[in-house]
Amino acid sequence: MKKTIICISCPLGCNLAVEYNNKAIIRVLGNACNRGAKYAGKEIFSPERVVTSTVKIMGARVPLLSVKTDCSVSKEKMFDIMKQIFKIQIEAPINRGSIICKNICGSGANLVATRTLDKTTQIR
Amino acid sequence: MIKNVDAIVIGGGPAGMAAALSLKNNGIEKVLIAEREDFLGGILLQCIHNGFGLHRFKEELTGPEYAERYIDFLKSTDVEVLLKTCAIDIVSTGKKKKVYLMSESSGLIEVNAKVVILAMGCRERNRGNIAIPGSRPAGVMTAGLAQKLVNRYGYMPGKEIVILGSGDIGLIMARRMTWEGAKVKAVIELQSYPGGLNRNIVQCLNDYNIPLYLSHTITNIYGNERIRAVDVAPINEFREPLKENTFNITCDALLLSVGLIPENELSSNAGVCLDKVTGGPLVDSNLMTSISGIFACGNVLHVHDLVDWASEEAEDCGKSAGEYFKTAIVQAKGIPVKAGHLVRYALPSTLEPGKPGLISLRTIAPAENAAIIVKAGDSVLYKKTHKKIFPSEMQRIKIDTVPENADAIHVYFE
């Protein structure tokens, strides 16, 4: 089977011509780097994306903390993860990289903070 | 209050932070950053998605992470940062520069500096800039404002969204609004090709089956207090809407992602000459503006698609501003850089003979199998063929040595 996909690994956005059968990738053409070949394999058999969002934070000078999954997760799980994210509320202080939710929705990825927020008593 | 510094950087976003660090690394002692928000990082703080830093840090970061790297670098220096401080005027008399700042805590501050680096970033084009007919209801806003509302304050601009313009911010917001539970009904693009990067079309629209209408525009906005619908029409080759094919989409918010304009009110008040195409200052190969001692970098100079390049440009800018401070280099006597066939702009406007040169450029329209050529007289300084080239992708070209005796350097596609 053949399929043309656009690599999303970096802003270059290479057009990948992928040749594959039921089990494996046979050939990938058009990739500028080896991330493209890796992406093609995943995209054909089990597409994955990184989810980035925000959670509520109390005691910081801003109301929201930006977060991400620390690796890409199955595309099918994205909306379950978002539902879980809506429920989370945490307390400042928090450091960039701190785990907010381990193995979120059984995706294998941890939800981590992408920002450092100190505790403050100052009302925004 | 009066402050005396060696260099002042106006704006604490990615360009301003990188420029300040570079000034320090190039031996400038007293460096001051003036930032009008109450945090450093600029627009990166609301760009919570990933895709930043692949060139700079060789890893994929989110906007806040990219910003914090630079904030941490700055913390390890003695660069002075004034937050909630807005620059209101720059006055240049000979080698002396005065910058007037207004701060929440200290009131008016008069800063004496030898070097000024402009790093104010850019502003979004809005409804007024593109003159969409119709009523004036709530719910019509720029995509960047929607991004700020959602990502920094937690307010949703609406539940049924139409996005005009397929620039990267619009595409990123299409996905963001979808994740937050809104229905994005359409992205409308006037051009016959998408305005944003390919990867964003894939991961922000195609993933969620959001329709992209190319060569379409919005011809009417309906609603009294709140927007309730828009008319969408295909356009012909003269960009005239085709009335008979107009269709209506109901919505409660319209996000505009229709381009960015460098924010240069301060620069032009100071007497800095601006480029009509980029909207940013005209600069020489040292990124010095038409006024000696005033430099510019990042989105205030020209709109970048990758923050990595804004940081890199700011580093170069800090370096040459440092040189200026130490040796008082005068305006580089440069060879003019001319934008030719298919080139929307090429920056800087002059290159210094005998030195390496870096040219940033964009195409006017998408092209296939196009070669970028840089020529001085008959000698080809650079040539590279690209399979595909898009206006959304800035090209940065390195010239090893700019020839000594050229009248002009021509940059064009073939």
Domains annotated for chain B, with CATH where assigned, are 1-124+259-331 (3.50.50.60), 126-258 (3.50.50.60), 333-414 (2.60.40)
How much is the pLDDT for B390? 86
Q: Euclidean distance between the first and final Cα of chain B, in Å?
A: 56
CB contact under 8 A, A82 and B180: yes
Residue with tokens 């660090």: B21
Phi, psi of B228 (to 5 degrees): -120, -15
Taking residue B128's Cβ as centre, other Cβ atoms within 10 Å add up to 7
Size of interface A-B (CB pairs under 8 A): 77
In this complex, the residue of A13, A50, A115 whose CB is nearest that of residue B64 is: A115
How much is the pLDDT for A100? 97
How much is the pLDDT for B332? 61
How much is the pLDDT for B235? 97
- Note whether A58 contacts B: Cβ–Cβ < 8 A: no
How much is the pLDDT for B388? 82
In this complex, the residue of A11, A15, A114 whose CB is nearest that of residue B64 is: A114
List chain B residues with CB under 8 Å of A83.
none
Substitution target in B202, B205, B396 with the highest count of A β-carbons within 10 Å is B202
Task: Report the mean per-residue pLDDT for chain A.
Answer: 92
- Note whether B193 contacts A: Cβ–Cβ < 8 A: no
Tell me the one-letter amino acid at B231: D
Sign of the Cα torsion A69, A93, B86, A124 reads positive
For A96, name the nearest residue in chain B, comparing CA atoms only.
B65
Which residues in chain B land under pLDDT 50?
none
Tell which residue, A117, A8, A35, A71, has the closest CA to residue B172.
A8
Q: Can you list the domains of chain A with their CATH numbers?
A: 2-45 (no CATH), 52-113 (3.10.530.10)
Helix (H, G, I), strand (E, B) or coil at B103: strand
Query: Long-range pairs for B95-104 at CB < 8 Å and ≥24 separation?
Result: B95/B292, B95/B293, B95/B328, B97/B8, B97/B293, B97/B294, B99/B8, B99/B10, B99/B34, B101/B34
- Note whether A66 contacts B: Cβ–Cβ < 8 A: yes
List chain B residues with CB under 8 Å of A75.
207
CB contact under 8 A, A54 and B153: no
List chain B residues with CB under 8 Å of A8.
199, 202-203
In this complex, the residue of B203, B305, B306 whose CB is nearest that of residue A8 is: B203
- Note whether B393 contacts A: Cβ–Cβ < 8 A: yes
ipTM of the complex: 0.92
How much is the pLDDT for B329? 67
How much is the pLDDT for A123? 54
- Note whether A98 contacts B: Cβ–Cβ < 8 A: no
In this complex, the residue of B152, B154, B202 whose CB is nearest that of residue A8 is: B202
In this complex, the residue of A9, A68, A75 whose CB is nearest that of residue B207 is: A75
For the stretch B174-193, pLDDT in tens is 999 999 999 999 999 999 99
- Note whether B197 contacts A: Cβ–Cβ < 8 A: yes
How much is the pLDDT for A90? 96
| Average pLDDT per consecutive 10 residues, chain A (124 residues; last block may be shorter) | 87 86 90 88 92 97 96 95 97 97 97 96 59
CB contact under 8 A, B151 and A64: yes
Phi, psi of B8 (to 5 degrees): -120, 135
d(CA B165, CA B188): 6
List chain B residues with CB under 8 Å of A39.
none
How much is the pLDDT for B327? 86
- Note whether A33 contacts B: Cβ–Cβ < 8 A: no
Taking residue B310's Cβ as centre, other Cβ atoms within 10 Å add up to 28
Helix (H, G, I), strand (E, B) or coil at B23: helix
Helix (H, G, I), strand (E, B) or coil at B188: strand
Q: DSSP code of A79? A: H
For B62, name the nearest residue in chain A, comparing CA atoms only.
A114
For the stretch B253-272, pLDDT in tens is 999 999 999 999 999 999 99
d(CA A111, CA B51): 17
Substitution target in B37, B48, B206 with the highest count of A β-carbons within 10 Å is B48
CB contact under 8 A, A64 and B154: yes
Phi, psi of B57 (to 5 degrees): -115, 0
- Note whether A16 contacts B: Cβ–Cβ < 8 A: no
**Do the strands A25-29 and A64-69 form a parallel or antiparallel pair, or are they unpaired?**
unpaired
- Note whether A63 contacts B: Cβ–Cβ < 8 A: yes
